[in-house]
């Protein structure tokens, strides 16, 4: 299937943003599913926030690049954020997210649209290239993550010199979480907030919960948001996005 798609010379793109933060992207994925993963270098251990689609292996690349496997935190169990979770030995997620029994997902647009309840048509295939010869996008399925440990509101992820706080902010999905570094004001937001139309009508979404979560998020001293999709942004843009959503929900 889809043998006409070119083979990508390199599937992942890694961009070092500062001495401890690396952005991991899959540039050959179409925009709907093109998500960010964030690797944080720590003194005692590394952290990976989300892990992409799982089209091809990510964990071996990170072990080679950074010399050790990170703790993976999955912000929520949608396919573009947990696809590679089965590769990692340490996986944290909220108990309400189905990381151990995920929705199968699909790289075929019509199949995924039916799973997600989307009315708008999607492209036939949600990739613009394949990772290797013989890869069949139609055979893609999200695999369950084993040995997941629960992360709930107020938990902490300690990397040594930095500790991030887990916040449970449902609305996009029942168990959506973010990670907030109170030391420098950096927020790793998953799909709770990003610079685009916020989705609250996917299976498990809840506009009223979402509004409550965003009001809570607005009260935090966030300096920089590292979202699950698109570019990072500062405090003013964060407030603008939140206020825009709240205005629509409250009418």
Proportion of the chain above pLDDT 90, given as a percent: 92
**Residue 233's pLDDT is what?**
98
Tell me what the mean pLDDT of segment 137-163 comes to. 95
Strand partners, 166: 179
**Rounded Cα gap, residues 6 and 44, in angstroms:** 40
Residue 82's nearest CA partner among 19, 146, 22, 18 is 146
Tell me what the mean pLDDT of segment 171-176 comes to. 98
**Residue 129's pLDDT is what?**
98
Say yes or no to pLDDT of 70 above 70: yes
pLDDT in tens, 202-225: 999 999 999 999 999 999 999 999
pLDDT in tens, 3-52: 589 999 999 999 999 999 999 999 999 999 999 999 999 999 999 999 99
**Rounded Cα gap, residues 133 and 152, in angstroms:** 41
pLDDT mean across residues, the chain: 96
pTM above 0.75, yes or no: yes
What are the CA-CA distances from residue 165 to residues 40, 121, 150, 178, 207 (Å)? 14, 38, 14, 8, 24
**Side-chain half-sphere CA neighbours of 225 within 13 A:** 28
Confidence grade of residue 121 (pLDDT, cut at 50, 70, 90): confident
Say yes or no to pLDDT of 69 above 90: yes
Tell me what the mean pLDDT of segment 55-80 comes to. 97
Work out the burial of residue 5: count CB atoms within 10 Å of its CB; fewer than 13 is exposed, 13-18 middle, 19 or more buried. Answer: middle
**Residue 9's pLDDT is what?**
94
Confidence grade of residue 1 (pLDDT, cut at 50, 70, 90): low
Q: List the chain domain ranges.
A: 13-250
Confidence grade of residue 249 (pLDDT, cut at 50, 70, 90): confident
- CATH classification (class only), 13-250: alpha beta
Residue 47's nearest CA partner among 72, 19, 84 is 72
**Residue 171's pLDDT is what?**
98
Q: Going edge to edge, which strands form the sheet with 186-190?
A: 156-158, 163-168, 177-181, 186-190, 224-227, 233-234
**Rounded Cα gap, residues 66 and 48, in angstroms:** 12
**Rounded Cα gap, residues 112 and 151, in angstroms:** 28
């Amino acid at each position: 299937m889809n043998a006409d798609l070119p083979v990508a010379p390199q599937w992942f793109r890694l961009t070092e943003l500062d001495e401890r933060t690396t952005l991991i992207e899959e540039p050959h994925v179409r925009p709907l599913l093109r998500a960010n993963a964030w690797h944080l270098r720590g003194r005692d251990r590394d952290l990976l926030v989300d892990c992409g689609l799982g089209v091809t292996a990510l964990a071996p690349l990170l072990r080679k690049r950074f010399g050790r496997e990170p703790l993976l935190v999955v912000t929520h169990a949608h396919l573009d954020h947990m696809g590679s979770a089965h590769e990692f030995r340490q996986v944290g997620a909220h108990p309400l997210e189905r990381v151990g029994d995920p929705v199968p997902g699909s790289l075929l647009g019509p199949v995924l649209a039916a799973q997600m309840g989307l009315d708008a048509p999607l492209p036939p295939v949600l990739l613009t290239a394949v990772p290797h010869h013989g890869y069949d996008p139609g055979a893609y399925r999200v695999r369950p993550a084993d040995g997941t440990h629960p992360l709930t509101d107020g938990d902490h992820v300690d990397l040594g010199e930095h500790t991030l706080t887990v916040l449970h902010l449902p609305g996009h999905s029942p168990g959506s979480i973010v990670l907030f570094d109170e030391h420098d004001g950096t927020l790793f937001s998953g799909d709770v907030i990003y610079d685009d139309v916020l989705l609250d009508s996917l299976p498990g979404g809840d506009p009223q919960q979402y509004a409550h979560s965003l009001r809570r998020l607005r009260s935090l001293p966030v300096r920089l948001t590292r979202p699950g999709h698109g570019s990072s942004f500062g405090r003013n843009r964060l407030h603008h996005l939140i206020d825009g959503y709240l205005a629509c929900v409250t009418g």
